[in-house]
A and B are shown apart, each in its own frame.
Chain A
Amino acid sequence: MSEAVPALSPEQMRCLLQTMYRIRAFEEKVDELFMRGEVHGTTHLSIGEEATAAAALQALRPDDYITSTHRGHGHCISKGADLKLMMAELLGKETGYCRGRGGSMHIADVASGNLGANGVVGGGIPIATGVGLSIKMQGLDRVCLCFFGDGAANEGTFHESINLAAIWDLPVIFLCENNQYGMSMSVRKATRCETIAQRAVAYGIPGERVDGNDVFAVYEAVSRAAARARSGQGPTLIEAVTYRYKGHSKSDQNRYRTRDEIRAWQERDPIKRLAAYLREHSLLTQEEIEREEAAAYQAIEEAYQFALASPEPDPDSLLEGVYA
């Protein structure tokens, strides 16, 4: 964990732990449901990356906006989504956030400022820039946090959008979750740059690289970027270095990396690290930590039961929502 612990109350730290457990429990359940064939389509799990999502949203306010990626369950949960409505969406039910039309890759809750996961790599980056423009033109005290992966950093939209946000000083935080692989392509093969954060130089904005498995480090970096954005100083590029334990999607055989590599990262597991910190600093007892973990799995089970009991969309409602 970072040496300088941020000014987080014990309650906020407990909240971070809760969020991370919920993300992991949700995704483990989803993984199981896909394997059992109870959910169709595909899914992209962020198991191992929970610290970035949890800490980034802890550093923002409830009325701030986010745009997300195809690996977006963690962002959605951290933004405060109702687990029942999320699970119902993954099961394609009418009660889901998107009435079963979006599924895992397009889940959104516009009312709470979650402007959606995105099935196109780099697809959300220009949208986040537009949200920043909207905030600025309306004179609001909000920011838009744009999640994207290392793969998206090589899309044209990355360059175009950060440049635009920079020249207009838009309140956008570009947060790259560098989980080391764009599907099977290692980030080391995909770019000659040492880091993604250093690309900020090209746009004349601050760039910062942090340990994405360290909740405090991510919290600090996003807090600084948010303060900058709110004071009219424009966007920041943050690279959070993290790792996904699972494959790119459910069909991934993991042929491009070794078990040793995965194991090495699991030793730096973000949840275990925060739990250890809380124990060592007597903020939570082992028993309390286990209770949090159990509560998360219990909440996911309830969400699953809610989703199972929910109705399917009416086939006659097919065209609803195409046009306003």
Chain B
Amino acid sequence: MTYAEAIREALREEMRRDPRVFLMGEDIGIYGGAFGVTYGLIDEFGEERVRDTPISEAALAGCAIGAALTGMRPVAEFQFSDFMAIGMDQIVNQGAKLRFMFGGKAQVPVVFRAPLGSGTGAAAQHSQSLEAWFAHVPGLKVVLPSTPADVKGLLLSAIRDPNPVIFLEHKLLYRYKGPVPRGEWTIPIGQAEVKRPGKDLTIIALSIMVPRALAVAARLAEEGIEAEVVDPRTLRPLDEETLIASARKTGRVLIVHEAVLTGGFGGEIAARIASSEAFYYLDAPILRLGGAETPIPYNRTLERRATPQEEDIYQAARRLLQRRPL
């Protein structure tokens, strides 16, 4: 099953199970969404529960929040995560804060789904990775699934979660295939996973960087190096225990994400590890690999150059392994 199909299956199963769950977003009905994720759901659930909205992101976000506040479980789809900027007040100032501002006397069980990332030639306004923006906000949960099984299990948990969840799907992952458990299959939000065990270095990878890191780990294995690949899966809350344990075990940490390095979430992960007990076990400084300090360009060569590719991760791992403690 592909990653996109796994999302659709999660939506379908949860809509069948819970009549409060409904979908809203631009072109999600007959069109099936910009990436075809919701294709066919309108046939089963109708226009009431698969709601096409006008191009009005602030209303989309706020309307979902209002519905969530009064007993529904909306899943709102943004066509591109870049457009969440248009609904940012509703997400950050309203949805994230209402429960706290109301003294804990309200719940906002809403999911904001959005595709992020580059690699489709869509250039600067349709290709960003903005997960760090949302991870900075108390009150939100931020999830970045990297496999079909994870995306299904985490989406079911996100819909059932009583808090606003930002659910970010990488565009290139939509066509990735993998095994997905049928039926009831949930993964707790806030639990990292070791995608491949190893002892020589840890590669902490986010979103699309997970399959790339796994490919690099396979290549390193041929050279006799055992890389451990860890996927945090959820940025807020962050499962720092799993990340710190891996750092402590291997003594070398490479963090890879597609988002621009400055202010990227890798800095947060690095800081958590460096300020933990794992610091005393490090054999080399923590290495971060992120996007170039530029909006995403249109040109294919430049676009690839702007974000870490397999070869970049491989070279970075190599550099990290060559560093010797003093």
Contacts and interface: CB of A to CB of B under 8 A. Distances in A.
B101 A98 contact: yes
Interface string B83-98: 0000001100110001
A126 B61 contact: yes
Interface stretch (B31-39, B66-74, B264-272, B288-296): B66-74
Contacts of B74: 130
A101 B98 CA distance: 10
B139 A322 contact: yes
A23 B106 CA distance: 25
A134 B66 contact: yes
Interface residues of A, number: 46
B103 interface: yes
B66 A321 contact: no
Contacts of B139: 322-323
A111 B70 CA distance: 10
Contact of B67 (A98, A108, A130): A130
Interface residues of B, number: 40
A125 interface: yes
Nearest to B69: A115
Interface stretch (B52-60, B148-156, B206-214, B254-262): B52-60
A156 interface: yes
Contacts of B53: 164
A127 B71 CA distance: 13
Contact of B54 (A65, A130, A138, A163): A163
Nearest to A117: B101
Interface string A91-114: 000001111111000101111000
Contacts of B100: 101, 321-322
B98 A116 contact: yes
A110 B101 contact: no
Contacts of A108: 98, 101-102, 105-106
Interface centre among A102, A144, A163 (most CB of B within 10 A): A102
A129 B163 contact: no
Contacts of B98: 108, 116
Given A126-B90, A130-B69, A110 B64 contact: no
A135 interface: yes
B89 A130 contact: no
A130 B66 contact: yes
A69 to B, nearest CB: 13
B67 A134 contact: yes
B68 A130 contact: yes
A135 B69 CA distance: 11
Contacts of A120: 89, 93-94
A288 interface: no
A99 B103 CA distance: 5
Contact of A123 (B59, B94, B163): B94
Contacts of B66: 67, 115, 126-134, 144
Nearest to B57: A160
A130 B64 contact: yes
Contact of A160 (B48, B58, B102, B163): B58
A102 B103 CA distance: 7
A320 to B, nearest CB: 6
B54 A123 contact: no
A157 interface: yes
A264 to B, nearest CB: 36
B59 A129 contact: yes
Given A102-B103, A126-B90, A322-B100, A65 B70 contact: yes
Nearest to A96: B103
Contacts of A109: 105
Nearest to A110: B106
Contacts of A164: 53-54, 56, 59, 63
A67 B276 CA distance: 45
B107 interface: yes
A131 B94 contact: no
B102 A156 contact: no
A144 B71 CA distance: 14
Contacts of A201: none
Contacts of B138: 322
A123 B56 contact: no
B112 to A, nearest CB: 13
Given A164-B56, A323-B139, A323-B163, A157 B62 contact: yes
A133 B54 CA distance: 15
Contacts of B68: 130
Nearest 10 Cβ contacts at the A-B interface: A126-B62, A130-B66, A321-B104, A99-B103, A98-B103, A160-B59, A324-B162, A130-B63, A127-B66, A160-B56
Interface of B: 22, 48, 53-54, 56, 58-59, 61-72, 74, 89-90, 93-94, 98-107, 109, 138-139, 141, 162-163
Given A115-B66, A123-B89, A144-B66, 6 more contacts: A123-B90, A126-B66, A127-B63, A130-B62, A134-B67, A163-B56
16 contacts: A65-B70, A67-B66, A111-B105, A115-B66, A116-B98, A118-B94, A120-B89, A120-B94, A128-B66, A129-B59, A133-B72, A137-B22, A157-B62, A321-B102, A323-B99, A324-B163
